[in-house]
Structure 1
Amino acid sequence: MPNEQFLARQEDRRSGLRALRAALLKAHKELITLNRAEYERLYGPVPAGLFVQIVTEEPYFRWLDPLSRLIIEIDEELEAPEHHDQTCRAVAAATEKLFGPQSEPAFRERYQQALQDESGVIVAHGQLMKVIGQLKQLA
């Protein structure tokens, strides 16, 4: 039977992963909102029901795929019965890499532009960096 300290660590890790997921979703939402406005300036208004399909299929939004994949990876980890230090470190490192200077050029360029263009992205980025630091301390 697991001891209380083990269970507490598991809950801390799970909470950290959930916080990271929430911060990534906030950044994703801000980026989608910004890019939707840009897309609609170029191509005209898009009905809400069609927009989800456009985001998943249109090359204009492909640069967001690494962020979407990272969120899916965290979702899968949250489904696991236990969370390990190594996993928390790996997720934090993958997030830092994605939002850092060594990320994929297509993502990095568009993300840096979004940081300059939209205050909501700046706020989401700050929260994301805070959560990464907290998760790294847990690991």
Structure 2
Amino acid sequence: MPNEQFLATQETRRSGLKALRAALLQVHKEVIGHDRAQYERLNGPIPAGLFVQLVTEDNYFRWLDPLSRLIIEIDEELEAKEHHDDTCRAVGRAAEKLFSDGADPGFRKRYQEALQDESGVIVAHGRLMSVIGQLRQLP
């Protein structure tokens, strides 16, 4: 039977992963909203049913793939019964790297444009950076 410290550590990691996932999802939502507006300015209105298909298939939205993959990685980790230090740290580092100066240049350029143009992206980014900072302090 696991000891109380192990269970507390597991819950702390799980909470951290959930907070990171929520912050990344908010950034994703805000950036997609920004991109949709930009795309519609260039191509006209997108019917609701077609938008999901465009996000997953159109090259205009491909730059979001690293963010989408990171969210999927966190989902997979949250499905596990135990959360390991190395995995949690790796996910945290991946999130930090994705939003740093060392990020993929294509992602970084488009993300910076969204940050400059959309207040919702700025707010979501601030929350994400706060969560990443808290994760760095986990045991």
Shorter-chain TM-score bucket reads over 0.9
Q: TM-score, normalised by structure 2?
A: 0.98
Structure 1 gap segments, 5+ residues each: none
Could you tell me how far apart the structure 1 residues matched to 2:48 and 2:12 are? Answer: 37
Could you tell me how far apart the structure 1 residues matched to 2:38 and 2:113 are? Answer: 12
> What are the within-5 Å matches in structure 2 for residues 9-48 of structure 1?
9-48=9-48
Tell me the residue number matched to 1:121: 121
Q: Percent identity?
A: 77
Opposite residue 112 of structure 1, the aligned amino acid is Q
Deviation by residue 1:11-68 (Cα, 9 ceiling, x = unmatched): 1100100000000000000000000000011111111111000000000000000000
* SS, match of residue 81 in structure 1: coil
Could you tell me how far apart the structure 2 residues matched to 1:4 and 1:34 are? Answer: 45
Could you tell me how far apart the structure 2 residues matched to 1:9 and 1:119 are? Answer: 35
Write out the 4+ residue segments of structure 1 that deviate beyond 3 Å after TM superposition: none
Opposite residue 121 of structure 1, the aligned amino acid is V
Could you tell me how far apart the structure 1 residues matched to 2:35 and 2:115 are? Answer: 12
Tell me the residue number matched to 1:54: 54
Could you tell me how far apart the structure 1 residues matched to 2:87 and 2:110 are? Answer: 28
Tell me the residue number matched to 1:137: 137
Could you tell me how far apart the structure 2 residues matched to 1:19 and 1:37 are? Answer: 27
Q: CA RMSD in A?
A: 0.7
Could you tell me how far apart the structure 2 residues matched to 1:11 and 1:49 are? Answer: 38
Q: Does residue 67 of structure 2 align to residue 79 of structure 1? A: no
Structure 2 gap segments, 5+ residues each: none
